[in-house]
Structure 1
Amino acid sequence: MMKKLDKLKKDYKDTEIPPELGDIVNASIQKAKASRKKRPALKQWTLGAAAAAALFIGSINMSPSFAQAMANVPVLGAFVNVLTVQQLTVDKETYQADISTPAIDGLADKELQAALNNKYIKENKALFEQFEQDVAEMEKSGDGHLGVMAGYEIKTDTDQLLSIARYEVNIVGSSSTIMTYDTIDKENSILITLPSLFKDKSYVDALSSYILGEMTQQMTTDENIVYFLKDESQEGFEKIRSDQDFYITADNKLVISFQKYEVAPGSMGIVTFEIPTDVLDGHLVSDTYIK
């Protein structure tokens, strides 16, 4: 086990996204990028500026709480583990960052495993670099408050499926949250996409119709619930994207997820809808994942 963790740490420090693996997760990376505001090009990853900002790096081999942390590593099926490969923390009076990077270990398909882990590393490096740049600009002006948090939670951990939700919270006055998901068939080492679950694109209309009905029903029964729905006078939700954010629950139900502000006011946060399986009758490729 320690040899595997040593390798993960080395991969984190030396990571370079292999071009031949790009196609495997390119769609996921593009979707995550599209959810963020456009940002300037990032400088080469360094820890120099971070050290000046009292950066604490707790790695899986160096953290004093490593033994306790490893005791809490979730075992997700026969030999598939998810662990925190790096923790980046800054704690100053007006600037805080707490960024946790997950790594998957134990998938039979090592290329898929490496591609996912490299994606997590790359995105969190970019997030921290942007934090450094934003802090530097604020310090020049002598004013500003900034907080960034990123981490993950395991939504599903059956023998068959692993669903990881990764979140990014930016706090500048008010907060914004981005949530992305990866759902993996652990038995067959397959990264499951939403289109791959269905026979054709008709699922978009089927899911959208159900979700629109749920939104309308919720607003009718609770005046505190508000959704942005498209009508003659305003833009709003009409249908899901074909690659809408989703995950699969432990009891094999499909959950569709919307980002904060995507279909509702920020006060409602991340909005999710669990889809009854009978809504998907005739659309699913099989009942392997959704039942």
Structure 2
Amino acid sequence: MHDDLQKAKQRYESTEIPPELSFTVAAAVREGERRRQRRRSARRSLGAGLAACACFCLLVNSSPAFASALADVPVLGDLARIITVERYQINDRDRLIDVRLPALTDTGDTDLEQRINTEIRTRIDEVLDQAEQRARAAREAFVETGGREEDFTPILINVDYEVKCSNEQYLSFVITKTETQANAYSEFYLYNLDLTTGTQLTLPDLLGPDWRTRCDQAVKEGILQSEQAGGVYFAPGEGGFETVSDDQKFYLNSQGQPVLLFEKYEIAPGYMGVQEFPVSVSP
């Protein structure tokens, strides 16, 4: 591991940084400035270690040569395709926000990267704006009903991501926004990319024309197995599962199988949590 990091350091020191930043980094810089002006919130100092990590991410994003040099380092591998382009925290009387924003890079398809990265940033900005409005309204309601401002518990808002599948053909990752006050609830934004075509994958792409039948069968079998182990689900016709929707949420696991995702309360009581059902790609 030490040798790998030394090699990465040597490649970094010998790599010329290009005069212009890539789209994703430039967008991150502009957005960071806009956030400072709009929210007027000082970001926490994350220490020298995180600063070094941010510099590393910046170099990967802004220098194709640097990213390419890192591709054959075992400790990184295919994960260089999704990087943390921005990390920040905000702590004030209304909310505690922790964001780790991903960006797509090193695909060889600039149009795809710009399209996905712009969509991610726009979506997360909207999500955070809405969450901040709810946090402000919650504090104001708390004070108006007799509570003291110093007793108000800020709303916790976390945005993070996880790479689910990364290979030569497919890239699948999930962005999760979790909002916590009295209770916690999460929203999921799933990206399933075919790197050979530059398009978003669909269940028909992966499972063929009978995709809905295969998905329904996988969910019903999964529910039955869970119920036999004590799981509880809503009954069909009473909010329970009947059939997958046209825009059913899914991601690809490390084996390239689609995994159907149902959010909390969608087909089962809240204590059952998020429900996931893998579907075999073999008929």
TM-score by length of 2: 0.72
The whole-number CA distance in structure 1 between the counterparts of 2:206 and 2:257 is 12
Deviation at 1:129, TM superposition (A): 2.2
Counterparts of 2:194 and 2:240, CA distance in 1: 34
Supply the AA of the counterpart residue of 1:161.
Answer: Y
Amino acid at match of 1:9: V
2:95 and 2:132 in contact (8 A); partners too: no
Q: How many residues align?
A: 239
Question: CA–CA distance in 1 between the matches of 2:90 and 2:268?
Answer: 32
Cα deviations by residue, 1:184-208 (Å, 9 ceiling, x for unpaired): 22244332122333443x3212311
Alignment of 1:134-283 (within 5 A): 134-140=134-140, 141=143, 142=149, 143-200=152-209, 202-220=210-228, 222-223=229-230, 225-231=231-237, 234-278=238-282, 281=283
CA distance in 2, matches of 1:129, 1:11: 18
Separation (CA, whole Å) in 1 of partners of 2:260 and 2:20: 34
Does 1 or 2 have the higher relative contact order (CA < 8 Å, sep 6+)? 1
Q: Tell me how far apart the structure 2 counterparts of residues 192 and 272 of structure 1 sit (CA, whole Å).
A: 18
Alignment of 1:75-94 (within 5 A): 75-76=77-78, 81-92=81-92
Render the CA deviation track for 1:159-198: whole Å, top value 9, x for unaligned: 2221111111011210001122212222443321223334
Counting only pairs closer than 5 Å after superposition, residues 30-179 of structure 1 correspond to structure 2 as 46-48=35-37, 50-52=39-41, 54-56=42-44, 63-67=51-55, 74-76=76-78, 81-92=81-92, 95-140=95-140, 141=143, 142=149, 143-179=152-188
Please state whether the residue corresponding to 1:208 is helix, strand or coil.
helix
Could you report, residue by residue, the CA deviation over 1:4-46 in whole angstroms, capped at 9, with x for unpaired residues?
Answer: 993222123457xxxxxxxxxxxxxxxxxxxxxxxxxxxxx64
Asked whether the equivalents of residues 160 and 176 of structure 2 are also in contact (C-alpha less than 8 Å), the reply is yes
Structure 2 gap segments, 5+ residues each: 1-14, 61-69, 144-148
The answer (yes or no) to whether the contact 1:151–1:167 under 8 Å persists in 2 is: yes
Q: Indicate conservation of the 8 Å contact 1:249/1:255, yes or no.
A: yes
Deviation of 1:217 (Å): 2.5
Larger-Rg structure: 2
1:235-288 deviations in Å (ceiling 9; x for gaps): 32101112211122232322111112211222232211112334xx2xxxxxxx
C-alpha separation between the residues in 1 aligned to 2:139 and 2:196?
50
Hey, which of these two has a bigger chunk of helix by percent? 2
The sequence identity of aligned pairs, in percent, is 19
Distance 2:55 2:258 in 1: 36
Determine if contact 1:145/1:173 at 8 Å carries over to the other structure.
no
The answer to whether structure 1 residue 10 and structure 2 residue 26 are counterparts is yes
Q: Check 1:263–1:64 CA distance in 2 against 1; reply closer, same or farther (3 A cut).
A: same
Note the residue ranges of structure 1 that are not aligned, 5 or more in a row.
16-44, 282-291
- CA separation in 2, counterparts of 1:57 and 1:4? 27
